[in-house]
Structure 1
């Protein structure tokens, strides 16, 4: 804090003015609260693709064996297989692509977050599992040879010692490679995919997901930590190191930081010791799905930061390390703050012309706080230690080097510890190297020492940020329950709490999620008369209908993605589903129309044979009804029974009024569909939800939801019929669609006007708002419609809006 006297003499910006030019970021928002709780009533149940997990396990197993045999066992290592690596990459990409597709359809970004954290948790746990497996394998081999005094037993013992001594390095190298490969595929493909589909490249910030701190085997693994952070804050024997530095840094900038960013009150030294940290870490690892490092991270944060900062995920300008450089190099260094390194002056973004003076005083204040302090000695020693470690051929622990160079150890203590080393480092030579480096540090020129301090500030901000983000990642991963046992997966699936991430080829048709469906009902008429006539001629009706009707229809189903609901003697009911993961097949009504046309062609062919054999002809009425929901299913002794309101609706559409059919008017209508409303005194013979009278002889009628779903599937051209071709205001819609085999088909739809049935014929009076929709089968009318569309395409480049297009309609179903 600055005294009142200093504030009156020297200008200093307020917090808002100081932070205005600095970069800022929004807190990360985890969306897991939108997800269901799993079978343990605590965590989220996740099942990753079995194929993906097997690929990862094989890659880690082979990579670890190659690493160990090459670096420690002195054997020719098995050559790494690039196929394993490619399989891992493609597996992860496949999981992400399917998840992004689902997230877009259902607006569920949390599913992408869940997949990324689940994969990270799985991989971190997998490396530990494979290390334990390798160690157990060597132990079992040693146990088998223990009764023999053989060189093989001694060799296996030495291998176990090497594995134990180098466990952190082995785990770190394998983990780093896994994350490096994931990051490559993220940068090359998946980030761009998410950006184009979801509008967001990284639902989880990249620095959080690929945080080096998550990949470290421990915060006390000095050899691995020093590749990313200064060793100042991670001394196992000095648990207060991070807290001490944090208090110094936040104290220097206290006037410009939120109060929740200041250090915590000093703790009683007996409240939390290094032993507590290690105990917490072991407890965390012992928990189910526990990950390495969580306990160490949590205890460091508890000792130094306020819960309002790390638990709530609050962010300040200090969480962006580049802001340190922006502040330090915002004005030219001179006098007592000059460094030995020429850094390009950053563009000054503080508009006040008094900023250089304040900047100079702030830099002097920073240097004064570090000068001659324990922290400065530690940071200089830790900066020099990695180079000395390499010079000594990695024979002396890097922490031992740090402690001696920082003046925390006498030469006698150093000699004693060097003598206890198992790698036979020569104490005399080690001491000479350390004394030479110690002399360099003590005689270090002021400008270089100041550069070390400013550089350390930036690296400390990076360590502090990564520590907070590692905590956030661990909290997220601890909410995930990765299910592996088949019984747990099945239990969670039955409870509706399982969130599965399969590869697309692992999806089975019965496991696809149905988004909507269409029902096609074919009401068969005349089958009774044909059956009776066949029996009179001593012929088999069953084989006749099977060969000439049902089998030809069965051959059509695959091309249009249809399934049988059930078949009776005088009715055929078929269904076509749209699945969530097959958007390229979302043409269920188009396919139902095409299938209905093909069924009628089968009947036409059958009727030609019937006429030749002097048998009664078959007559059909077909109805197509659409539902924007998935059907329900019941099971009776293993038989699936579909429940859908579209079945009843399709039944109504396929029906034909007996009164109209027997009338003189009906006798002259021929094939097709006509829908009429009864006169006020007219009684509808067949119960109908819309109270309409239908004439449907070898015709196909769509209900209104199916009609508008069809218009959302295809691009139609509207054709107004010429006078004399149809009555009233009927018009045609002409389009084309592909079946599942890629064959294109023309489709012509007539929108007819409902008229009034007076008991004898349909009048010219139209019912207000009454329309019905028929799939045209008349070859002449289809040819006429196609001809009109071709003519319009050449003469009318722009089709104006029509009354039909402006009329209110139901919402689309995509």
Structure 2
């Protein structure tokens, strides 16, 4: 159920875990940025890691138990994993900024002195801060990879229990969490793409844009016809000669989804086109004694089919004039950091593949000489151009296969990122006491705490349903007027004959006072989950109503004796098969329930209708 804002799911994570996460991530960021000497904080990396893993394991174990025994829903386990994931991503960004703030504070301290040595340290520190900011994505990715690996290690002991509870298919895959795209602001960042995937075009007319390549690959995969094993014993695939199928508009939506699923599994690429690996497997088996001839024939047919599909891909990419870009993007990995900055990776790529761009980039570097005080050599770039031109066909095909694998990984991780981001955006990690109290009161707070942090109380069990009962004194306005005209006190009359005697029996039936006004009282009886004593709330409300009427009848007999007004009580009882909602006015809870209005109408039922009933 959504939380207090009716959109996000309110989650309260263990304060001990939160503190541990902040500490270990800050230490990892200091280490990854090389700012150990600047910050001057000593920390025990092994102790931090083991404490974090231990706390994560305990939190996740509690969530698994709740999902199986208490709430009976796997979504509880998913929510716990997503909440911890959000905590980690949030803290990585926050602690990086915390490091920059601390370093800037040191700069201001140095600048406030007149010491020449301090001034030199300030200049050096500013350069280091600039370098750290420039390497933000690299630092964040390194820290993210490390901390999420610890998270996965912490959950290894829970894998068997989860499989037993939910089944293998319901487990979240590891690559959902180990995702480089999760921790950067720009999911198409060139540095990120070169380090983890493949460099793609960003301009509108680039043929190697993600969207263009995706449709090209989907079109090629759409030409592969999958046959059942009983129809084709060799491999189960063949290349369809129908060129028109490549147009995505001619493919049914279900086929598009199926192809998208193929691309999301990187291993499928090896099965479909990696005849290099199959060939190596054939050689390995041939070198063994007593090799299986039938298996060798099967692998031979498989390699032939794979090569056919590979060549279809290779030729199509060549027709689109993408091969030089692919070769250049692979070769530039060894040198691009020597030029970036001041260049960006796309400029390096254009230098390698375009004569016109080469002149532009060379002129740009020449202009930058006045800022750097030295000439940036173009020799490594020119050598790379020559190397690309001398690439053998076999090496070009290996680079092409590597490029496709990188694209498949990017497609998978981008899809996982979008799904995960939607989930994380719906989670609100609450910390302030007011929000926690309001969400907890309305049974919308999901708490994932350590065993020692949990406090078990009866009234913390979730409310499943409730009854509202309203007791309304009929003709109270007339009675008040009569008593006033007789010089009597209406307040004491209602108190002695109505409120006081009724208040004495309310607790006996487990009822709570919701609202009290001059001539009426509204009570609630709550049913809680797994609380046998709290069931039968309607029957208890009826018993309370009968007792109320008996009390009023008793006091009316006394009032007749002293010629005082007679009280007539209207009672309305309404059951609602859901928990009530609450507003908080300071520490006071104000109940909201549709049953209140219905009970009010029932209690004011007129005399004619009562006679008919």
Q: Scaled by the length of structure 1, what TM-score is found?
A: 0.47
Provide the residue aligned with 1:468 in structure 2. 415
SS in 1 for 2:200: helix
Kindly indicate whether the alpha-carbon contact (under 8 Å) linking 1:252 and 1:366 is maintained by their aligned counterparts in 2: yes
How far apart, in 1, do the equivalents of 2:380 and 2:137 lie? 26
Kindly indicate whether the alpha-carbon contact (under 8 Å) linking 1:109 and 1:203 is maintained by their aligned counterparts in 2: no
Provide the residue aligned with 1:186 in structure 2. 155
1:39 counterpart = 2:39: no
Provide the residue aligned with 1:708 in structure 2. none
Alpha-carbon deviation of 1:243? 1.9
Provide the residue aligned with 2:132 in structure 1. 163
How far apart, in 2, do the equivalents of 1:79 and 1:500 lie? 30
Provide the residue aligned with 2:381 in structure 1. 434
Provide the residue aligned with 1:450 in structure 2. 397
1:327 counterpart = 2:272: yes
Residue 243 (structure 1) aligned to one of 208, 211, 228: 211
Provide the residue aligned with 1:269 in structure 2. none
1:125 counterpart = 2:90: yes
1:629 counterpart = 2:528: no
How far apart, in 2, do the equivalents of 1:213 and 1:222 lie? 12
Q: Where do 1:1-400 residues align within 5 Å?
A: 36-70=1-35, 78-105=42-69, 106-143=71-108, 146=111, 148=113, 151=119, 153-187=122-156, 189-200=157-168, 203-216=171-184, 218-232=186-200, 241-256=209-224, 316-329=261-274, 342=280, 344=282, 361-371=308-318, 373-389=320-336, 398-400=345-347
Kindly indicate whether the alpha-carbon contact (under 8 Å) linking 1:219 and 1:234 is maintained by their aligned counterparts in 2: no
Q: Where do 1:687-726 residues align within 5 Å?
A: none
User: Does the C-alpha gap of structure 1 residues 133 and 512 become closer, same or farther in structure 2, counting only changes over 3 Å?
Assistant: farther
Alpha-carbon deviation of 1:415? 2.2
User: Does the C-alpha gap of structure 1 residues 513 and 308 become closer, same or farther in structure 2, counting only changes over 3 Å?
Assistant: farther
Alpha-carbon deviation of 1:244? 2.3
In proportion to residue count, which structure has more helix? 2
How far apart, in 2, do the equivalents of 1:353 and 1:195 lie? 38
1:487 counterpart = 2:434: yes
Structure 1: runs of 5 or more not aligned: 1-35, 266-304, 334-340, 517-572, 574-626, 634-641, 649-814
Alpha-carbon deviation of 1:79? 4.4
User: Does the C-alpha gap of structure 1 residues 146 and 76 become closer, same or farther in structure 2, counting only changes over 3 Å?
Assistant: closer
User: Does the C-alpha gap of structure 1 residues 140 and 324 become closer, same or farther in structure 2, counting only changes over 3 Å?
Assistant: same
SS in 2 for 1:474: helix
SS in 2 for 1:444: coil
Alpha-carbon deviation of 1:124? 0.7
SS in 2 for 1:45: strand
Query: Which deviates more from structure 2 when the two are superposed, residues 240-249 or residues 212-221?
Result: 212-221
How far apart, in 2, do the equivalents of 1:383 and 1:446 lie? 15
Structure 2: runs of 5 or more not aligned: 227-244, 286-293, 464-507, 509-528, 544-613
User: Does the C-alpha gap of structure 1 residues 359 and 129 become closer, same or farther in structure 2, counting only changes over 3 Å?
Assistant: closer
How far apart, in 2, do the equivalents of 1:488 and 1:313 lie? 44
How far apart, in 2, do the equivalents of 1:365 and 1:139 lie? 56
How far apart, in 2, do the equivalents of 1:126 and 1:491 lie? 25
Alpha-carbon deviation of 1:50? 1.2
How far apart, in 1, do the equivalents of 2:449 and 2:214 lie? 44
Alpha-carbon deviation of 1:409? 5.8
Alpha-carbon deviation of 1:221? 3.7
Provide the residue aligned with 1:416 in structure 2. 363
User: Does the C-alpha gap of structure 1 residues 225 and 179 become closer, same or farther in structure 2, counting only changes over 3 Å?
Assistant: farther
Larger RCO, structures 1/2 (Cα 8 Å, 6+ apart): 2
How far apart, in 1, do the equivalents of 2:165 and 2:409 lie? 32
1:660-713 deviation line (CA, Å, top 9, x unaligned):
xxxxxxxxxxxxxxxxxxxxxxxxxxxxxxxxxxxxxxxxxxxxxxxxxxxxxx
How far apart, in 1, do the equivalents of 2:370 and 2:450 lie? 49
How far apart, in 1, do the equivalents of 2:429 and 2:184 lie? 22
Query: Which deviates more from structure 2 when the two are superposed, residues 446-455 or residues 202-211?
Result: 202-211
How far apart, in 2, do the equivalents of 1:396 and 1:383 lie? 18
Kindly indicate whether the alpha-carbon contact (under 8 Å) linking 1:66 and 1:77 is maintained by their aligned counterparts in 2: no
User: Does the C-alpha gap of structure 1 residues 156 and 212 become closer, same or farther in structure 2, counting only changes over 3 Å?
Assistant: closer
SS in 1 for 2:25: helix
How far apart, in 2, do the equivalents of 1:414 and 1:408 lie? 10
Q: Where do 1:796-807 residues align within 5 Å?
A: none
Alpha-carbon deviation of 1:146? 5.0
1:706-747 deviation line (CA, Å, top 9, x unaligned):
xxxxxxxxxxxxxxxxxxxxxxxxxxxxxxxxxxxxxxxxxx
How far apart, in 2, do the equivalents of 1:221 and 1:313 lie? 28
Residue 500 (structure 1) aligned to one of 415, 423, 447: 447
SS in 1 for 2:223: helix
1:251-271 deviation line (CA, Å, top 9, x unaligned):
22223489xx98878xxxxxx
How far apart, in 1, do the equivalents of 2:148 and 2:390 lie? 42
Alpha-carbon deviation of 1:138? 3.3
How far apart, in 2, do the equivalents of 1:512 and 1:313 lie? 50
Alpha-carbon deviation of 1:426? 5.8
SS in 1 for 2:322: helix
The alignment covers a number of residue pairs equal to 442
Kindly indicate whether the alpha-carbon contact (under 8 Å) linking 2:67 and 2:76 is maintained by their aligned counterparts in 1: yes
User: Does the C-alpha gap of structure 1 residues 235 and 190 become closer, same or farther in structure 2, counting only changes over 3 Å?
Assistant: farther
User: Does the C-alpha gap of structure 1 residues 404 and 264 become closer, same or farther in structure 2, counting only changes over 3 Å?
Assistant: farther
